[in-house]
Amino acid sequence: MELLLLLISLLCLVFTITILRFLLAPKPPAAAAKLPPGPTRLPIIGNIHNLGAKPHRSLADLAKKHGPLMSIKLGRITTIVASSPAVAREILQKHDKVLSHRHTVLAMEVLDLHKFAMPFLPPDSKWRNLRKVCNSYLFTPQKIDSYQELRREKVLELLEDVRRAASQRPGEAVDVRRAVFRATLNSLSSTILSLNLGDVERSQTAREFQEVVSGIMEEAGKPNLGDYFPVLARMDLQGIQRRMKGYLENALNLFQWVIDERMRKIKSDDLYVSPNDMLHTLLAIGDDDNREGAAAVDPLSIKHLLWDLFVAGTDTTSSSLEWAMAEFLRHPDKLAKAREELDEIIGKGNHLCESDISRLPYLQAIVKETLRLRPVAPLLVPRKASEDVEICGFLVPKGAQILINVWAINRDPVAWDDPDSFMPERFLDSKVDVRGKDFELLPFGGGRRVCPGMSLGLRVFHMMLGSLIHWFEWKLPNGIVPEKLDMEEQLGMALHKFKPLLAVPTPK
Ligand code: HEM
């Protein structure tokens, strides 16, 4: 409502500026006529009104009318939307190089974040070096294996939390979102920094960190007028950039403090043994100029990279987990089948290990089916064309924003039977995987920008989900029947379940 009023009151101002710009601007190139088709645009706002609160769904509906390669205008921003596996292949495979720049939003430009943050950097040498650091040091299978014990500990703590809640308040529901967010954050923060940043009850640092993170999530999820109308960018009419700056400063200061403490201990105490975490690996690379990617690992970049990994890794993994638990509660027959598999392969009373995952095809199918139906980044991270490109006979002009609607692609009726149904069985005899090579299933994106943390995210996802259902019976509270479970979505930084999932655990 507040946004609508602002929009209306600004229309006159923007209208005048736009008319002036139009009159003074050079004539548009003839090739503009070849933009992909799209819905009718309103003056000034273009198609902003078409987006609604769930842009992935609105754009999927529009694509049914205008086709899988569509163009819309969001204020001043020409935007190209891809909505089929074939068009995604053109973008992520054939034209990946030219189309892998990022379209940044103002909230990501405060403190020059877009010049340091891997998700927003252009694909230049700095970005390439950071990706090398990820691929060659932080996320190699051996490195991920080496943190296995840490992750196991965090799974045990999650089980203990749920067990305690179940014994203190038998028959009462637990907040599954809170439990899995805390566990995921602890799992990642111990892997990255050897800290438990999810333990808000025990640690002031954790409390401060979570306040900052929820503030950032809230601001980043709000539509910002300045993103649609660059003439308004500097005015920061909604105060989003100002608040974002405050949160980010706090977050980065906190990380700087952790890094300084670690370096101080290393320098001042010869007997100090630095813990085996990602910070340790990054400091070691930074000390050795000959290592691949070392150029990207100066102290400032380390701070930013650590922050990127947190932001990109926590909400995505925990939200996927919450969706999977919700799908289980909506489909008790699938839950029973997944449990049967665990009992048979792992055995009652035995803990699940990461090496077991490959022997659990039904659990893997559940994870894939959840990621297919509930991709946490339904439009991926917006890309930008660095040159004019022709796709399927249409022009994608230089500077255009590119949205890949993986929510629509993952439900493409040509690629998937009964695409809106939760049917993990579809993956049992299928080679289709989530890793970005199969263009009908892209929950981690694809091409050179594909998620670098996917192997780690997938391990945490399988381990926590498998353990939660192996050790507890779960049912919905207050007699809610599975078909009535509210599955409403909310799109912020990630695609969340709108209402947190509440469920009653009973130890098996
Ligand atoms: C289930 C868990 C996860 C999901 C579904 C997920 C999904 C994604 C998606 C869709 C993208 C955008 C890809 C594109 O634009 O084509 C992305 C990028 C990224 N992810 Fe993940 N992610 C997950 C876990 C993680 C984890 C655990 C980390 C690190 C600890 C991580 C780090 C990143 C980074 C740094 C990027 C930006 C890459 C770039 O722009 O070059 N993600 N992720």
Cα–ligand 1 centroid distance for 321 (angstroms): 15
Confidence of residue 9 (pLDDT cuts 50, 70, 90): low
Q: Which residue is closest in CA terms to ligand 1's atom 26? A: 313
The answer on pLDDT for 29 being more than 60 is no
* Residues 282, 137: Cα–Cα separation, whole Å: 8
For the chain, give the percent of residues with pLDDT over 70: 93
Which residue did the predictor score with more confidence, 479 or 191? 191
Cα–ligand 1 centroid distance for 313 (angstroms): 6
**191-200, 359-368, 463-472: which range is least confident on average?**
191-200
Which residue did the predictor score with more confidence, 110 or 382? 382
Q: State the burial class of residue 30 (Cβ atoms within 10 Å of its Cβ: 0-12, 13-18, 19+).
A: exposed
* Residues 29, 32: Cα–Cα separation, whole Å: 6
Q: Which amino acid is at 115?
A: K
* Closest ligand 1 atom number to CA of residue 446: 16
Residue 451 labeled ligand binder = yes
Q: Which residue is closest in CA terms to ligand 1's atom 38? A: 119
Domain architecture of the chain: domains with CATH: 2-507 (1.10.630.10)
Residue 466's Cβ-side half-sphere holds a number of Cα atoms within 13 Å equal to 32
pLDDT of residue 271: 80
pLDDT of residue 382: 95
Kindly state the average pLDDT of the residues 313-321.
Answer: 95
The answer on pLDDT for 289 being more than 90 is no
* Closest ligand 1 atom number to CA of residue 406: 10
Confidence of residue 31 (pLDDT cuts 50, 70, 90): very low
- 336 contacts: CB under 8 Å, gap ≥ 6: none
Is the alpha carbon torsion for 355, 356, 360, 366 positive or negative? negative
**Backbone phi, psi, residue 450, to 5°:** -55, 150
**30-39, 266-275, 377-386, 498-507: which range is least confident on average?**
30-39
- pLDDT tens for 116-132 read 899 999 999 999 999 99
* Residues 475, 176: Cα–Cα separation, whole Å: 12
**Backbone phi, psi, residue 433, to 5°:** -120, 170
DSSP string, 425-440: GGGTT----SSSSSTT
Residue 62: alpha-carbon gap to chain centroid:
24
Q: Which residue is closest in CA terms to ligand 1's atom 17? A: 451
Kindly state the average pLDDT of the residues 447-473.
Answer: 98
Cα–ligand 1 centroid distance for 507 (angstroms): 33
Name all residues whose Cβ lies below 6 A of ligand 1.
Answer: 118-119, 188, 308-309, 312-313, 316-317, 320, 376-377, 380-381, 443-446, 449-454, 456-457, 461
Q: What is the mean pLDDT of the chain?
A: 90
Helices (H) and strands (E) in the chain, counts: 17, 12
Name which of 461, 442, 428 is nearest 375 in CA terms.
442
Is the alpha carbon torsion for 219, 221, 223, 227 positive or negative? positive
Cα–ligand 1 centroid distance for 459 (angstroms): 14
- pLDDT tens for 181-238 read 999 999 999 999 998 888 877 788 888 888 888 788 788 878 899 999 988 988 999 9
* Residues 410, 443: Cα–Cα separation, whole Å: 8
Kindly state the average pLDDT of the residues 385-394.
Answer: 96
Cα–ligand 1 centroid distance for 454 (angstroms): 7
**Do residues 150 and 190 make contact, with C-beta atoms less than 8 angstroms apart?**
yes
**Do residues 80 and 36 make contact, with C-beta atoms less than 8 angstroms apart?**
yes
* Closest ligand 1 atom number to CA of residue 188: 30
Q: Which residue is closest in CA terms to ligand 1's atom 4? A: 316
